[in-house]
Amino acid sequence: MNYAAVILLVLAAQETKSSTLTFTKDVAPIVFQSCASCHRPGEVAPFPLLTYADVKKRSKQILAAMESGQMPPWKPVAGHGDFVGERRMKPADIALVKKWVEEGAVEGDPKNLPPLPKFPDGWAFGEPDLIVKMPEAYTVPAEGRDIYRAFAVPLNLTEDKFVRAVQFRPSNTRVVHHALLFLDITGESRKKDQQDPVPGFRGQGLGLGAVSGGSLGGWAPGGISQPYPDGMGKEVKKNADIVLQLHFSPTGKPEKEQSQVGLWFTKERPQRMVAMMPLSDWQINLPPGEKEITITDSVVLPVDVDLIGLIPHAHYLGKTCKVWAKGTDGKEIPLIWIKDWDFDWQEQYRYKQAVRLPKGA
């Protein structure tokens, strides 16, 4: 009887030991997938998360950020759009990290550690047809609040072109938090840039000229450039300037940034044109004392449309943003919903599959 009891105790002890979660086998794959694109040397995140020592040191902080939804940053509510590059963590993965932390954040066998992820480097679609760069480098000061600044970059095209893909590449990923790209066909942004003694101009409230030629999308750390669907292209007028709206985060020392943009053109006129359709109420009225103001806008589509993406935008007073379509059958089609709008985490969202919206929606 005693012998049997000893055997059972040993087996139970072995089973408990083998069920302990480890960094190398269980947690590293999650961290590499969800955190490493930003939390690595040379990127915008304040510290790396590539080794056991990195993660163990901040294990409780990491867990708190995951449980609150603060990290990895992903604002759209589930069920309101299926987007490329989704960074939403699975509840099962968060629960696993929590259990690992509660068990003492064990390292595990180094042989079980997966290889570090390979991050995109260079141009995504081969050598671009055109590469343009900020005329001058901008110096981000060592200290102070985050900076929002815009830069007009001439394209110097001799004829109208049609873009099939665009890629933004910062020269210093430590300071560039995110970027939005627009086309100005009025020259307004170039004048503002030239009138400012420092490279660029104030990046909030770009003005209508800055977006007069539409949008070329945006960039955020870890984001992957996506070409337009086959047969589609975005028209770029020969007099257009690219306007880079950049968000900078000081690092504690002066940093220089001179971003560049690569453009790939279609070989012939596209079958279908990519166009930007702004929805906005420019007559915003905020009565004193009112805590909640709802601003709406809508449009009835004159033709069938394939919606390939959205770029929600608001400033610091924004609280939530919700977009939906009402089909000709009266059914509501959810497109995007951001419950906790954060100006610092605005970005473009590209659907994995274009959303077909019929004429009259």
Amino acid at 319: K
Q: CB under 8 Å to 154, separation ≥6 — which residues?
A: 132, 135, 190, 241
Q: So what CATH class is 120-275? A: mainly beta
- The Cα–Cα gap between 193 and 213 comes to 18
Question: Can you read off the two tokens belonging to residue 164?
Answer: 């099939």
Cα separation of 334 and 326, whole Å? Answer: 9
Entry pTM: 0.80
Q: Which of 121, 247, 243 is nearest to 178 (CA)?
A: 247
Residues of the chain with CATH 2.60.120.310: 120-275
The b/e string for 267-295 (b: 16+ C-beta within 10 A; e otherwise) is: eeebeeebeeeeeeeeeeeeeeeeeeeee
What pLDDT is recorded for position 142?
Answer: 96
Q: Which residue in this structure is represented by tokens 């589509």?
A: 301
Cα end-to-end distance, the chain, whole Å: 77
Q: pLDDT tens per residue, the chain (361 residues)?
A: 343 333 333 333 343 445 799 999 999 999 999 999 889 987 878 899 999 999 999 999 999 999 999 999 999 999 999 999 898 999 999 999 999 999 999 999 999 999 998 887 789 899 999 999 999 999 999 999 999 999 999 999 999 999 999 999 999 988 998 899 999 999 999 999 999 999 999 877 677 777 888 889 888 877 778 899 999 999 999 999 999 999 998 999 999 999 999 999 999 999 999 988 889 887 788 889 988 899 999 999 999 999 999 989 888 889 999 999 999 999 999 999 999 999 878 888 999 999 999 999 9
